[in-house]
Amino acid sequence: MQRRVFLAVSIFLMVLVIAGCQKGSSNTIRVGLIAELTGDMPAVGASCKNAAQMAVKEVNDAGGIEIAGKKYKMELFAEDSAGRPDQAASSAQKLITQQEVTAIIGPNASSNAIPASEIAESSKVILITPWSTNPKTTLDSKTGVPKKFVFRAAFIDPFQGRVLAKFAIGTLKAAKAAVLYDVASDYNKGIAEFFKTTFEENGGKVVAFESYTTNDKDFSAQLTKIKNASPDVIFLPNYYNEVPLQIQQAHRLGIKTPFLGADAWGSQELIKLCGKDCEGYYFSTHYSAESAAPAATKFIQAYNTAYGKTPDDVAALTYDSFGLLRQALGGLSKLDRQSLRDAISKITGYEGVTGKMQFKEGSGDPIKSAVILQIKDGKFVWFANAQP
């Protein structure tokens, strides 16, 4: 018995010692990363972490960043949000108080980014979310004014909803649309509503507006209802791990209507999980690896050699988030959280992998263009550009 207690205590102490060894030297810029490494959407977290490690390595290989005549290396502290809002918030808390990071990149899913951004804002630490598109991420929940410390690299959902609604009416010639969305997730709910509003403003009619909750696997009741309303297009603003189930079940119910999606479709996992069922459908996203700007090809090639796959939108946006951070850090006269915030808020334009971003004074949301991709022979193929 005594030996066991001794063993348990010594293991515990060892863990403490290992955990306590993380404080780095003062010659580093400490950057936190919150990614969805486990949970519902591990592919998002993996892309985010890959791109982050690449961005940090690039900075350090170039000798670091010079601030006030002193070279600083960048050090990355990655935390897993497990795709859960509560864990995203506690990760943010941990990075800020224990690791004392200067800035945080992530989380990606809006449901995670919103609570994490609240923590960052109240602790006055910069948070740049690569992939979150819900407007609430950068707005104060009480007053509705923009948060001072929260920025993002992605476009926002009112814009994406408008792009998709116009695409459905203009290109797909749809007069009646149906929507099936996850009512328990900020991202899905937000974009479903923006789509509905703009689709109806442009003369279309939303004949079915159905919802489910996260982790549901059976959509047969809602899909039967949608089938009964005979829409011209079905909009699924849901994550890549749920969309395949929805489309497969729809096909099994004999639904032949085309499907339309948003940026949460843009993972190669979608094709793996969906197989032939997703062939020919469209979705909007942040960038297309094949039509990217010349500046982007360097990143795409480097990512490809490092990880053996084409970077998806999350990877590209994470890289751009680090780009923004790097640009702001480069112009600093001293390294602290407040002057970093001032430097980022002064950036008005940034040319990234995902295209040109413009920031308006006082807002953390970039104005940038979107692309529409089509799924063809198991690949994402560029279809159209949509300007802001």
Partner 1 sequence: MIYLLQQALNALQLGSIYALIALGYTMVYGILSMINFAHGDFFMVGAFLCFIVATFMQLPFLPALLISMAGVALLGVIVERVAYKPLRQAPRVSAIITALGVGIFLENFTLALSPYPKHVPTIIENTTISLGGLTMSSLQTIIIVLSIVMMTVLHFIVQHTKVGMAMRAISWDKNVAPLMGVPVNHIISITFALGSGLGGVAGMLYSMAYPVIDPYMGIIVGWKAFISAVVGGIGNIRGAMLGGYILGSVEVLVAAFLPSTYRDFVAFSLLLVLLIFRPYGIFGKPRTQKV
Under rule CB under 8 A, residue 183 binds partner 1 = yes
Under rule CB under 8 A, residue 308 binds partner 1 = no
Under rule CB under 8 A, residue 248 binds partner 1 = yes
Under rule CB under 8 A, residue 228 binds partner 1 = yes
Number of residues located near partner 1, criterion CB under 8 A: 35
Residue selected from 244, 311, 355, 366 as contacting partner 1 according to rule CB under 8 A: 244
The least distance separating partner 1 from the CB of residue 260, rounded to whole angstroms, comes to: 19
Under rule CB under 8 A, residue 197 binds partner 1 = no
Ranges of H-type helices in the chain = 2-20, 42-61, 85-97, 110-123, 157-170, 186-201, 220-228, 243-252, 268-274, 294-307, 313-330, 337-346
Q: Exposed e or buried b for every residue in 353-388, given b needs 16+ CB within 10 A?
A: bbbebebeeebbbbbbbbbbbebeeeebeebeebee
Residue pair 367/357 in contact (Cβ under 8 Å)? The answer is: yes
Give which of 100, 42, 45 is closest to 75, Cα–Cα.
100
Taking the C-alpha atoms of residue 131 and residue 136, their distance in angstroms, rounded to an integer, is 13
Count the Cβ atoms, other than its own, within 10 Å of residue 70. 12
Beta strands 282-285 and 259-261, pairing class: parallel
Count the Cβ atoms, other than its own, within 10 Å of residue 348. 10
The least distance separating partner 1 from the CB of residue 225, rounded to whole angstroms, comes to: 6
Under rule CB under 8 A, residue 252 binds partner 1 = yes
Q: Of 40 and 365, which CB lies nearer to partner 1 in the complex structure?
A: 40
Taking the C-alpha atoms of residue 363 and residue 248, their distance in angstroms, rounded to an integer, is 40
The stretch among 33-41, 51-59, 310-318, 378-386 that binds partner 1 (CB under 8 A) is: 33-41
Under rule CB under 8 A, residue 72 binds partner 1 = no
Q: Could you give the C-alpha distances from 273 to 142, 243, 265, 267, in angstroms and in order?
A: 40, 9, 11, 10
The stretch among 19-27, 270-278, 336-344, 353-361 that binds partner 1 (CB under 8 A) is: 270-278
The stretch among 93-101, 133-141, 248-256, 357-365 that binds partner 1 (CB under 8 A) is: 248-256
Question: Who's near 189: CB < 8 A, 6+ residues apart?
Answer: 181, 182, 183, 211
Residue selected from 98, 141, 171, 220 as contacting partner 1 according to rule CB under 8 A: 220
The stretch among 127-135, 242-250, 257-265, 351-359 that binds partner 1 (CB under 8 A) is: 242-250
Under rule CB under 8 A, residue 357 binds partner 1 = no
Under rule CB under 8 A, residue 11 binds partner 1 = no
The stretch among 9-17, 39-47, 123-131, 336-344 that binds partner 1 (CB under 8 A) is: 39-47
Under rule CB under 8 A, residue 309 binds partner 1 = no
DSSP, res 327: H
The stretch among 122-130, 146-154, 245-253, 375-383 that binds partner 1 (CB under 8 A) is: 245-253
Under rule CB under 8 A, residue 38 binds partner 1 = yes
Give which of 348, 357, 371 is closest to 292, Cα–Cα.
371
Give which of 175, 135, 172, 138 is closest to 261, Cα–Cα.
172
The least distance separating partner 1 from the CB of residue 224, rounded to whole angstroms, comes to: 5
Site residues (vs partner 1, CB under 8 A): 37-40, 42-43, 183, 210-213, 215-218, 220-222, 224-225, 228, 241-242, 244-245, 248-249, 252-254, 269, 272-275
